[in-house]
Amino acid sequence: MLLPIGATEPVYMAVPFGRITESGVAGDARVASPEKGERMLSGCAAAPADIIVRDPWAK
């Protein structure tokens, strides 16, 4: 894949989960909390909403 010179946008590539962790576990759930979960879900909802509001396809 070639990227334009000076590209600043991140590039995301799909990777099978098995290549990330053999056990199927990623992270340490002992530091989780309901509040952290709510913040994560809120961020996951806000990101696509921001894209829709900016409407980059309207250009």
Q: What pLDDT sits at residue 17?
A: 83
Alpha-carbon torsion, ordered 16, 1, 8, 48, to 10 deg: -50
Question: Higher model confidence: residue 59 or residue 48?
Answer: 48
Task: Summarize pLDDT for 14-41 with one digit per residue, the tens.
Answer: 888 888 888 888 888 899 999 999 999 9
Measured between alpha carbons, how far apart are the two ends of the chain, in Å?
25
- Given a cut of 70, is residue 1 above it in pLDDT? no
Question: Which two three-digit tokens encode residue 54?
Answer: 């900016």
pLDDT at position 30: 92
Is this prediction's pTM over 0.85? Answer: no
